[in-house]
A and B are shown apart, each in its own frame.
Chain A
Amino acid sequence: MLLFRGEEHIDRWCSARDLPRAEGATLTPAQGWQLAQAWYKDKVKPQWRRHTLEETEALLADVGLTGPFWNLRKG
């Protein structure tokens, strides 16, 4: 995931790669920080373990990342 100066820069980057602009695929830097904290705050600690699917879903929802783009279940 990349950082862009603005929407038109994302449009140009996607267009150059024939990638669709998916709805809900962008985050503000504040959301990015919130997501990074939730995801990585324990990674160096001895008791760290991978989040379960349900924990990851809750974590994404807490950051406001919902909808088809953020669906972790295939199908």
Chain B
Amino acid sequence: MMASASEALSRDVRLYVFRRAAESARVPQPAQIAEALRRPLPDIQEALKQLAAGKVLILAPNDGNIWAANPFCAVPSGFRVEAGGKTYWGICIWDALGIPAALGTDAVIRAPCGDCGQPMSLEVKDGTLAHGEGIIHFAVPAHHWWDNIGFT
């Protein structure tokens, strides 16, 4: 079955966003995507809404920009990932670990203790967790993750 035009555009937008985020450590925003794909901005904004509805990425609440093309966060956060000579950010420790998983590279992850703020680090090397400290805690049960993904 052939994909509809909107499904095809959503796929193109997804591929562009994630490829650019992986390659450059910067998540592209709607105007850049429109220019790169040579499509009108409203079409790109609609495609991004569809991708967000499908939980492929997360849009910022007010301006329609991409907040996170998970695992890649568009804005600096406390979860800093150094990989391949670039600095990436995740919105949480799960996504921070997801960055070397998605890239298939080594990485050093730095994150503060959620309680006291003391810096901690984890290291991924050759596909394994070579160093890890601390405990990961989920505050929200799995079936409520998407009720408020920002808090989750």
Chain B residues engaging chain A, CB cutoff 8 angstroms: 15, 18-19, 21-22, 54-56, 70-71, 92-95, 97-104, 111-116, 118, 120, 122, 124, 128-129, 132-139, 141-143, 152
Q: Which residues of A contact B139 (CB under 8 A)?
A: 1-2, 14, 17, 19, 25
Given A10-B135, A43-B18, A43-B98, A29–B113 Cβ distance below 8 Å?
Answer: no
Which residue from chain A places its CB closest to the CB of B124 in the assembled complex? A33
**Whole-angstrom CA separation of A43 from B100 in the bound complex:** 11
**Whole-angstrom CA separation of A24 from B70 in the bound complex:** 24
Contact B104 A9 (CB under 8 A): no
A72 at interface, CB cutoff 8 A:
yes
Which residue from chain B places its CB closest to the CB of A57 in the assembled complex? B142
Contact B93 A2 (CB under 8 A): yes
Q: Which residues of B contact A36 (CB under 8 A)?
A: 71, 94-95, 97-98, 100-101
Q: Which residues of A contact B138 (CB under 8 A)?
A: 1, 22, 25-27, 69
Q: Which residues of B contact A5 (CB under 8 A)?
A: 113, 115-116, 118, 120, 133-135
Q: List 5 A-B contacts (CB under 8 A).
A: A3-B93, A40-B98, A44-B22, A48-B18, A72-B142
Total number of A residues with any Cβ neighbor in B under 8 Å: 43
Q: Report A42-58 CB contacts with B as 1/0, cut-off 8 Å.
A: 01101010100000000
Query: When A and B form their complex, what is the total count of cross-chain residue pairs whose Cβ atoms lie within 8 Å?
Result: 150
Q: Which residues of A contact B111 (CB under 8 A)?
A: 2-3
Q: Which residues of B contact A9 (CB under 8 A)?
A: 113-116
Contact B101 A32 (CB under 8 A): no
**Whole-angstrom CA separation of A68 from B49 in the bound complex:** 32
Contact A4 B113 (CB under 8 A): yes
Among all A-B residue pairs, the 3 with the closest Cβ atoms: A29-B132, A2-B114, A36-B97
Contact A4 B115 (CB under 8 A): yes
- Beyond known contacts A2-B111, A3-B137: 16 more, CB 8 A cutoff: A1-B93, A2-B92, A2-B136, A4-B113, A4-B137, A5-B118, A9-B115, A27-B135, A29-B129, A32-B97, A35-B94, A37-B101, A39-B101, A46-B15, A68-B141, A74-B143
